[in-house]
């Protein structure tokens, strides 16, 4: 297990390098460049000065190496191109924790509701409860999150005045309600679906039948046999979903004015803010890879059959 972990961790290095390389050339291949302002068409000379100041006039391979060397040796992604005076590091340090906290709250909501709905509808398979909870689950996937957030703002912030229209004050503030709920709908629905099918699958197994046959109460059948075994595939889904949720959602964050990293994912691309694109992409990739690793490790505890040499 220890050696397996070390090997997996070592594999992260070349993987990140590949992510870096693909991102670098992809973003430079995208038409347009930084510095455009919608208000005033910048003269060519101004753009050339800016390119020179930030080293964008150098050959691409040179930019590639110096960027890479800067990240590896100093952990320095450089300054943001669109936010003057802000380093990529500042941006990640300021905004990733916000998305992380919001995502964690959303994920807790999603896990609690998703697992409940999923188990409920598996146990009550093909009854009205199954249909209602699956309907809820599917609605969660089908309505785009920005529509949900917009409607919630109109209803709960403007009409009812229960919560402010947006902003961020930490996880204990009422402001988190709309973004957290909007963000949790999709993972909740996904989890509910996977839980349902996973539990259904397990319930049809012979060992469950045996357990029932020997007269074990249904409650214990579920708790001891079904749910635990059903958790294995769910762990995979939950791990990946978690990585997605904590890295923020552009749609939810921009509609609810949450200063999270998800907003930067998208606005850095539209601003061609190369260092920020790189910073956010690498951060995301690292989180996904680490989450994958964690899921694999968790398998060992959930499923005694799985062993890594």
Partner 1 sequence: MTRRAYVSWIALLVLALLAGCAGPAPTATVKPQPTKAPPTGAPQPTNTSPPPAPTETPVPEPKAFRYSAVEPDSLDPAKGGSGFQDFQNLYEALVDTQSKGEEIKPLAAESFEQSADGLTWTFKLREGLKWSDGAPVVAEDYRYAWLRQLDPAEASYAPDMFYAIKNAKAFNQGEITDANEVGIQAPDDRTLVVTLEAPAPFWIWHVGNTDYFPVRKDIIEKYGDKWMEAGNHVGNGPYMLAEWKHDQKLVFVKNPNYEGPWKDTRHIDRIEITVVQDSQTQGLPAYEADEVDMAVVPATELDRVQSDDVLGTQWSLTDIAGATLLLFDTKNPPTDDVRVRQALAMAIDRETLANQVFKGAYPPATSFSPPSLFSYESSSFLGYSPQKAQQLLADAGYPDGQGFPVLDFTYWSIWRGPLTAQALQAMWKENLGIDVTLNPLDPQAMRDYRMSRETEPFNIYYALQWADIPDPSTWHNSQLDPDQNVRHTRYDNPEYVQLIRGALNETDSAKRTVMYQQAEAFVNQEVPMLTLLQEAIVKVVKLYVKNFDEVTTTIGQMTRVAQPPGLDIVR
Partner 2 sequence: MSSSTRESATTELRPGGRLAKPTSMWQDAWTRLRRNRAAMFGFVFVVVLIVVAVFAPVLAPYPYDKVDFGAITQTPSREHLLGTDSLGRDVLSRLIYGARVSLSVSVVAELVILLIGVPVGMISAYYGGWIDMMIQRVVDVLYAFPSLLLIIVIMTYLKAALKVAQGPIAGMVSTINNATGGLVGVFLALALVFWLTVSRLVRGEVLAIKERQYIEAARCIGVSNRRIILRHILPNTLAPVVIAATFGIPSVISMEAGLSFLGLGVEPPMPSWGMMISEGVQNIRSHPHLLIASGVLLSLTLLAFNFLGDGLRDAMDPWMKN
| 55 dihedral zone (left: phi>0; alpha: psi -120 to 50; beta) | left
Give Cα 122 to chain centroid, integer Å: 27
Confirm or reject binding of residue 128 to partner 1 (CB under 8 A).
no
For 78, residues 6+ apart whose C-beta sits below 8 A from its C-beta are 67, 70, 87, 88, 275
| CB closer to partner 2 out of 74 and 204 | 204
Q: What is the DSSP string of 233-301?
A: HHHHHHHHHHHHHHT--HHHHHHTT---HHHHHHHHHHTT-HHHHHHHHHHHHHHHHHHHHHHHHHHHH
CB 76 within 8 A of CB 89: yes
Residue 233 interacts with partner 1 (CB under 8 A): yes or no? no
Q: Judged by CB, which is closer to partner 2: 49, or 267?
A: 267
CA distances from 124 to 86, 110, 231 (A): 54, 20, 18
Smallest distance from the beta carbon of 8 to partner 1, in angstroms? Answer: 35
* Residue 165 near partner 1 by CB under 8 A: yes
Among partner 1, partner 2, none, what does residue 113 contact (CB within 5–8 Å per kind)?
partner 1
Candidates 23, 33, 136, 298; binder of partner 1 (CB under 8 A) is 33
CB of 109 to partner 1, least distance (A): 8
Cα–Cα distances (Å) from 121 to 57, 113, 129, 134, in that order, read 60, 12, 6, 7
Q: Which does 26 bind (CB under 5 to 8 A by kind): partner 1, partner 2, none?
A: partner 2
Tokens of 191: 């989890």
- Of 120 and 246, CB closest to partner 1: 120
Q: Running DSSP on this structure, what letter comes out for residue 42?
A: P
- The least CB distance from residue 191 to partner 2, in Å, is 14
Q: Binding of partner 2 at residue 139 (CB under 8 A)?
A: yes
Given candidates 7, 9, 13, 30, which one binds partner 2 under the rule CB under 8 A? 30
Task: Rule CB under 8 A: choose which of 6, 93, 138, 220 binds partner 2.
Answer: 138
Q: How far is CA 268 from the centre of its chain?
A: 17
What is the CA angle 79-88-258, rounded to 5? 130
Is residue 123 near partner 2 by the rule CB under 8 A?
Answer: no
Tokens 């709960």 locate to: 156
Task: Choose the one of partner 1, partner 2, none that binds residue 135, judging by a C-beta under 5 to 8 angstroms depending on kind.
Answer: partner 2
Q: Is 288 in the site for partner 2 (CB under 8 A)?
A: yes
Q: Is 27 a residue that touches partner 2 (CB under 8 A)? A: yes
- What 3-state DSSP class applies to 103? helix
Q: Is 147 in the site for partner 2 (CB under 8 A)?
A: yes
The residues binding partner 2 (CB under 8 A) are: 11, 14-15, 18-19, 22-23, 26-27, 29-32, 131, 134-135, 138-139, 141-144, 146-147, 150-151, 154, 193, 197, 201, 204, 247, 250-251, 265-266, 269-270, 277, 280-281, 284-286, 288-289, 292
């Amino acid at each position: 297990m220890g050696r397996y972990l070390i090997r997996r961790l070592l594999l992260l290095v070349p993987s990140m390098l590949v992510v870096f390389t693909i991102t670098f050339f992809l973003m430079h291949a995208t038409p347009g460049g930084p510095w455009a302002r919608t208000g005033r068409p910048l003269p060519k000379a101004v753009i050339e000065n800016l390119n020179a100041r930030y080293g964008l006039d150098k050959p691409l391979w040179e930019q590639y190496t110096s960027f890479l060397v800067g990240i590896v040796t100093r952990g320095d992604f450089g300054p943001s191109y669109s936010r003057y005076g802000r380093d990529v590091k500042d941006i990640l340090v300021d905004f990733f924790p916000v998305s992380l906290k919001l995502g964690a709250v959303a994920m807790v909501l999603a896990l609690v509701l998703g697992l409940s709905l999923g188990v409920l509808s598996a146990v009550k398979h093909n009854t009205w409860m199954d249909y209602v909870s699956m309907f809820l689950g599917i609605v969660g996937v089908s309505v785009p999150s920005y529509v949900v957030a917009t409607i919630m703002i109109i209803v709960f912030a403007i009409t009812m005045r229960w919560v402010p229209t947006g902003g961020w004050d930490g996880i204990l503030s009422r402001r988190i309600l709309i973004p957290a709920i909007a963000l949790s709908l999709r993972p909740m629905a996904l989890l509910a679906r996977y839980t349902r099918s996973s539990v259904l699958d397990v319930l049809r197994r012979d060992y469950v039948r045996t357990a029932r046959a020997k007269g074990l109460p249904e409650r214990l059948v579920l708790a001891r046999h079904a749910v635990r075994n059903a958790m294995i595939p769910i762990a995979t889904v939950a791990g990946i979903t978690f990585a997605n949720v904590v890295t923020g959602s552009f749609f939810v964050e921009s509609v609810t004015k949450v200063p999270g990293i998800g907003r930067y994912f998208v606005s850095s691309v539209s601003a061609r803010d190369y260092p920020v694109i790189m910073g956010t992409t690498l951060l995301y990739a690292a989180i996904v890879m680490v989450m994958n690793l964690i899921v694999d490790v968790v398998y060992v505890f959930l499923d005694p059959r799985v062993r890594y040499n």
